[in-house]
Each structure stands twice: as structure tokens, then as C-alpha cells.
């Protein structure tokens, strides 16, 4: 019994610092002083090797302190009726539904009787973002802000701001938003090609609305494709990590121990929707390309080879009698594609891109996705038992080397819309001279102050005829006060009018 008492007192002494034990409780009536040392070097318990092959203590405190200020909490709000909201939820890829939308949104729809079908309801999603520019530019996941009517960003110091969408790229599930603030802390992007499997990494985000949560793990794989993105031109070449990532971490930072951004946390592999071992992040090299294009061109300029591909493995090598056990197999080619121009044929194996070995289809996708239409690349190709080099110029989706039109200006960002010139053929069918089609709606004045939906064709602004996006830009330049959009929908007869104000 005395032994249990002594054990309890010793345990208490660890909490109290210094404890004097009374003689009655100690055999032989001796007085015993126990001290608690506050400066125990716990961080020295685990070691790692740095770039100079030096053994150093593994310490996450410095990197956590360095990066938390630059990771924000994002709340996206969407007004929708319950039935419509549930249908959208059910359309999300299973088993990733809970990660691709707010977990609380899922729970609210499970509580029957709280709202009647058809009744407007505020759906609130939660995610994370990373400040990459001191002028308020924040990168996050497209699914965090998709279809939102309002985006609110909360900084590490609890200051909140309304955000506007600069641009999105569903192909990589990335989005760029901006808040009106300056001199913000930022995270530098590093070369994700330098990231090694087995390297320690830290994930920072806001899982389950628990702000500024830090978890640690290692890079467990690279160039991972998990078939989670539903976009027709989806590019998946994720960095895989065992750092704990949960719903709400979407759009957060994956950093190395030097505090450099190596990826944007995007998805988890889980049958339950919560962390069970693996998370996936978009590599920083893809993030850098997407952000640069959105800022410089207003839309992502992406080059395409024009091939359908799959990675070479032992089964494929045996089935197709290949002389190569690794590389990327060309199943077929698109007519008038960059690959066709280079002389590639179905059955070829792509071994290298610009001198870098490629072993998987996602790796090849990633390397090409960093290029723009008109960029030249050199492929090393295997055909039969021979190898040869093929040079080609990448093209866009339409089969030429032109950049997509830049239809994103500051005014359009404020309106919260992406516009495109109306196709001449459609204009002729609708018996109009031209117009501007609302290709995409983001949080902004149009979605907040009007009932406009995507697909609306603007034909007049304040009674002035609009034939293309240049006319629209001129009509809105330096505009203040009330604005009236006149136009039509392809599938609805009659004209429609939308009025709003510009400050």
C-alpha cells in the first residue's frame, strides 16, 4: 500500500515542480526532496539528417511557428434549397464526400425535419487556404469555394475579410482568391521535384473547424493518381503523405521542415471520410504554374500532347510484347495533336520528357501540365527495341498553339464572373449579332445581388449593344452607380434584365 502512495506522490511531484515528502510516508523516516527539471531537451529524443548529412534534432516547433501565420480559414456560404443541396452532395465522388464538403453540411442533411424540401437554406462549407502574396492573394482548392455565394477568410490573428475569386482551375482542383489587405505573411513555394519519399513534412489547416492545426508525417509516395477529380481534363499527380489530414484541411499547406510550401492539401483516402492513413496534396510546381497563369493571363494556359496513356507494368509489357519494363505507354493519339506532329504512334513508350525520366502516367501528366501552348518539349521514345528523340510543340485543346483569351479583369473579378465571347454559330441560331456569355459565376455582385445563372448571354449594358468581351469591358470601365444587363438564355424564351450597383 505504501508503494502505491509513494508512486502517487512522485507522479504529483512531476506536476508541482518541487515537493517535500513528509517523514511519515518514507521508510526509515528520511526526508526526500524531488525536483522537476523544466528544461528537459525532449526535442533531442528523435534525430534526423539534414542536407549536409549532419545529425540534428527533429523539431517541428520552428516550422510550425513559421508557417501558421500564412495559413487561413475559409468559410464558403451557398444559398440553396435543401433538396438541391442534397443532390449536389450525393453527386460528390464516394468515398470522398465528407472531405470534398463541410462535414457539418453532411450532418445537417441527416437531421430530418429541420428543413422542408425546396426551402432556401444556407449551406456553409469550411476549408483552408495559403497566403502566397503579401497583397492578399490566397491559393486554396476549387472545391472549397465552388458554387459559393459568399467567401469569408479569417487570418491567424482572427481578422476576417470578404474574398473575391481571381480564377479557378477544376483540372487541378485549385483556386486563387484575394482579400483587400497588404503586408500579409506569406509562404514561399519550393521546387516539389526536390521532395523525396521519406522526407518529413508538416500539414497545416483547419480540420473540423479546429483552427491552426498542425500535424506531421513523411512523404510516403509521389505522382499518385487516385481518380478523385471529375473534370474531363483532370490532372492528378499528388504528393502522398501520412501526416494527418481531415475535412477542413482542404486548401491548407503541406510544407517541408524549412517552411517551404511543397503542396496544397486536397484529398484523403478513407472509407469513412476521416483520416485513416493517407492524404494527398497538389505539388507546388503545379500550384505555381496555375497561380502564375491566373495572375498573368486570367485563365490557365495549358499545353497538351494529345495522347491517351497508361503506365507500363509487367502485365502490360507481357501483353503488348514491350521491350521496356517502365515508362508511359501510348494507347492512342488525337488527330492534329502535338504527339502526332512529333511522329509518335500507338504502342510507343515515352521514357523521358526534357531529359527527365518518366515512369508513370501521372508523372507525365504533371510534367506536361507545367507547359503552355507553344512550348517546345523533347521526348525520348521507345519503339520496338529502339529508342529515339522526338521534338514537338505543345498545343491547346483546340489543336493550335494560341493562348486562351484573357477575359479576366479586375472589374470582372468584382462582378464574380468569367465571361466568353458568344460563339458565332450560336449567335446566328439565336438571331442576334453577338454577345457575351456568362461562363462561370463566382462569389461577387452578380451572384449576391441578382438571380442571374450561368449561361446568360449579355446583349446590352445600359442599352448599349454588347458584341464581345471588349465591348463589355469598355461599358463597365470607370462605371459607378446602377448598371442594367439585358440579355437572353439559350433555353428560355424572352429577354431577361438584371440590375445591380457598382461603387
Return d(Cα 57, Cα 46) in angstroms, integer. Answer: 6
Rounded Cα distance between 299 and 296, Å, is 8
Distance between CA 340 and CA 355 in Å, rounded? 20
In whole angstroms, give the CA distance from residue 333 to residue 329: 11
Phi, psi of 335 (to 5 degrees): -65, 140
Distance CA 188, CA 287 (A): 12
- CA 492 to chain CA centroid, Å, is 35
Please name the residues in contact with 270: beta carbons below 8 A apart, sequence gap of 6 or more: 95, 96, 99, 276, 277
Q: Could you identify the residue written with the cell 511522329? A: 343
Sign of the CA dihedral with 163 first, then 167, 169, and 170 last? positive
Measured distance CA(484)–CA(487) in Å, rounded: 10
Residues 98, 108: Cα–Cα separation, whole Å = 12
Specify the pairing of strand 71-81 against strand 150-154: antiparallel
CB atoms within 10 A of CB 437: 20
**Other Cβ atoms closer than 10 A to 258:** 13
Active site residues: 143, 173, 250
- The DSSP line for 409-476 is -HHHHHHTEEEEEPPHHHHHHTT-S--EEEEEE-SSHHHHH----TT-EEEEETTEE--SHHHHHHHH
Inter-residue contact 446 to 440 (CB < 8 Å):
no
**Any idea what DSSP says for residue 189?**
B
Q: CB under 8 Å, gap of 24 or more: what pairs does 111-116 form?
A: 115/82, 116/82
* CB 122 within 8 Å of CB 298: no
| CA distances to 72, 74, 86, 413 from 416, in Å | 21, 17, 25, 5
Amino acid at each position: 500500500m505504501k508503494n502505491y502512495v509513494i508512486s502517487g506522490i512522485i507522479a504529483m511531484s512531476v506536476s508541482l515542480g518541487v515537493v517535500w515528502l513528509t517523514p511519515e510516508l518514507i521508510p526509515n523516516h528520511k526526508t526526500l526532496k524531488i525536483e522537476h527539471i523544466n528544461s528537459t531537451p525532449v526535442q533531442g529524443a528523435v534525430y534526423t539528417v539534414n542536407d549536409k548529412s549532419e545529425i540534428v534534432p527533429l523539431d517541428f516547433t520552428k516550422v510550425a511557428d513559421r508557417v501558421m501565420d500564412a495559413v487561413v480559414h475559409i468559410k464558403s456560404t451557398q444559398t440553396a434549397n435543401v433538396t438541391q443541396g442534397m443532390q449536389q452532395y450525393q453527386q460528390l465522388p464516394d468515398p470522398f464526400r465528407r472531405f470534398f464538403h463541410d462535414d457539418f453540411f453532411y450532418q445537417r442533411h441527416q437531421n430530418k425535419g429541420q428543413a422542408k424540401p425546396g426551402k432556401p437554406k444556407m449551406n456553409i462549407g469550411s476549408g483552408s487556404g495559403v497566403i502566397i502574396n503579401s497583397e492578399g492573394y490566397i491559393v486554396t482548392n476549387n472545391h472549397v469555394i465552388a458554387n459559393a455565394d459568399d467567401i469569408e477568410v479569417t487570418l491567424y490573428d482572427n481578422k476576417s475579410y470578404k474574398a473575391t475569386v481571381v480564377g479557378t482551375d477544376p483540372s487541378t482542383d485549385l483556386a486563387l482568391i484575394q482579400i483587400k489587405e497588404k503586408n500579409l505573411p506569406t509562404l514561399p513555394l519550393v521546387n516539389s521535384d526536390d521532395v523525396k519519399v521519406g522526407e518529413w513534412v508538416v500539414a497545416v489547416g483547419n480540420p473540423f473547424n479546429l483552427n491552426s492545426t498542425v500535424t506531421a508525417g513523411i512523404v510516403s509516395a509521389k505522382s499518385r493518381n487516385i481518380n478523385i477529380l471529375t473534370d474531363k481534363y483532370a490532372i492528378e499527380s499528388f504528393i502522398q503523405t501520412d501526416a494527418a489530414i481531415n475535412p477542413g484541411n482542404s486548401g491548407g499547406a503541406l510544407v517541408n521542415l524549412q517552411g517551404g510550401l511543397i503542396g496544397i492539401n486536397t484529398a484523403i483516402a478513407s472509407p469513412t471520410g476521416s483520416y485513416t492513413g493517407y492524404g494527398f496534396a497538389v505539388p507546388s510546381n503545379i500550384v505555381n504554374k496555375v497561380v502564375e497563369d491566373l495572375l498573368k493571363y486570367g485563365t490557365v494556359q495549358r499545353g497538351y500532347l494529345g495522347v491517351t496513356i497508361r503506365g507500363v507494368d509487367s502485365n502490360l509489357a507481357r501483353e503488348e510484347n514491350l521491350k521496356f519494363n517502365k515508362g508511359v505507354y501510348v494507347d492512342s493519339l488525337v488527330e492534329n495533336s502535338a504527339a502526332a506532329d512529333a511522329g509518335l504512334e500507338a504502342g510507343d513508350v515515352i521514357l523521358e520528357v526534357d531529359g527527365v525520366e518518366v515512369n508513370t502516367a501521372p508523372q507525365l501528366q504533371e510534367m506536361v501540365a507545367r507547359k503552355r501552348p507553344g512550348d517546345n518539349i523533347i521526348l525520348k521514345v521507345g519503339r520496338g527495341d529502339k529508342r529515339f528523340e522526338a521534338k514537338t510543340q505543345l498545343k491547346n485543346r483546340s489543336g493550335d498553339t494560341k493562348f486562351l483569351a484573357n477575359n479576366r479583369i479586375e472589374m470582372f473579378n468584382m462582378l464574380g464572373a468569367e465571361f466568353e465571347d458568344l460563339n458565332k454559330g450560336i449567335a446566328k441560331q439565336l438571331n442576334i449579332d453577338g454577345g457575351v456569355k456568362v461562363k462561370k459565376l463566382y462569389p461577387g455582385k452578380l451572384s449576391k445581388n441578382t438571380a442571374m445563372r450561368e449561361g446568360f448571354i449579355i446583349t446590352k449594358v445600359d442599352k448599349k449593344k454588347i458584341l464581345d468581351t471588349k465591348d463589355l469591358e469598355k461599358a463597365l470601365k470607370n462605371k459607378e452607380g446602377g448598371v442594367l444587363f439585358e440579355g437572353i438564355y439559350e433555353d428560355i424564351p424572352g429577354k431577361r434584365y438584371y440590375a445591380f450597383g457598382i461603387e
